[in-house]
Structure 1
Amino acid sequence: MKLKEIRPALYTRQVKETVDFYTNILGFTCGAAGDDGSWAALTKDDTEVMVTLPNDHVPFTGPRFTGSIYFITEEVDAYWEAVKDQARICYPIETFFYGMREFAIYDNNGYLLQFGEEV
């Protein structure tokens, strides 16, 4: 078995607002969406994130993802400058001992998004 890609699907009760955050602030494109507003596929370059209303089989009281979504990027400093004043910051851009220059923000739902570039 070969894994080809990963496509996180984030639960939200605010699909439209989340699409707006990812497209207007982070520069993603809404590539596809449900006619009923229940889901959307958001793409930027070689990445895709899906946002969807919660599955009826999973209890949902709000975002409970305990990790982060880590995006490997190029020109992380330029991306930081583009989004830093438009999103809630977890930590500002910094170069870490493990060889990554990165920053982290929260999306409109509270999901932690990290953006890093190898140095």
Structure 2
Amino acid sequence: MKMESLTPNIMVKDVNATLNYYTSILDFKIVDTNPETGVFEWGYVQSGNVGFMFQEEKSLKAEYPEFQNINPGGALTFYIRVNHITQLYNNIKDKTTVIKPMNTTFYGTYEFAIKDLNGHILTFSETPSV
């Protein structure tokens, strides 16, 4: 057995607003939504090999009753490897909440982190070529 990919399905209050944020700020593309138009209860975005699914809170709680007493959000970060990190940083730094500015880590990568409109933390990283 070999695992092929991982695409988190994230509980959010407003799928439409979340898709708009990811497409307009982070340049993700919408792959699929449910329903096809109108007020979405689920949506899937992708950029390169990175994908996120977002599902409306009521819908996800109906699908997984175990989530009934859990609010959207979570104590986790999404670590995303990118290329052209400086260009990405410059393109989005004034459009979103930067919580960790561009820096060089002790292990030699360039990184910065943002908080999306739902409070999720995304860390972007690029390893410089030698």
State the TM-score, normalized to the length of structure 2.
Answer: 0.86
Q: CA deviation at 1:105?
A: 0.2
Cα distance between partner residues in 2 of 1:50 and 1:69: 13
Q: CA deviation at 1:111?
A: 0.3
Cα distance between partner residues in 2 of 1:37 and 1:85: 27
Match in the other structure for 1:74 = 83
| Structure 1: 4+ residue segments shifted above 2 A | 59-62
Q: CA deviation at 1:44?
A: 0.6
Deviations 1:35-89 (A, max 9, x none): 16111000111211111113221133231x2110111000101000011001111
Match in the other structure for 2:72 = 62
More helix by share: 2
Q: CA deviation at 1:2?
A: 1.1
Match in the other structure for 1:16 = 16
Q: Is 1:38 aligned with 2:48?
A: no
Q: 1:51 aligns with which of 54, 79, 83?
A: 54
Among all aligned residue pairs of Structure 1 and Structure 2, give the percentage whose two residues are the same amino acid: 25
Name which one, 1 or 2, has greater alpha-carbon Rg.
2
Q: CA deviation at 1:9?
A: 1.3
**Helix, strand or coil for the counterpart of 1:80?**
helix
Unaligned runs of 5+ in 1: none
Cα distance between partner residues in 2 of 1:31 and 1:11: 18
Q: 2:114 aligns with which of 102, 105, 111?
A: 105
Residue type at the aligned position of 1:44: S
State the TM-score, normalized to the length of structure 1.
Answer: 0.94
Pairwise CA RMSD: 1.1
Unaligned runs of 5+ in 2: none
Q: CA deviation at 1:13?
A: 1.1
Cα distance between partner residues in 1 of 2:109 and 2:33: 34
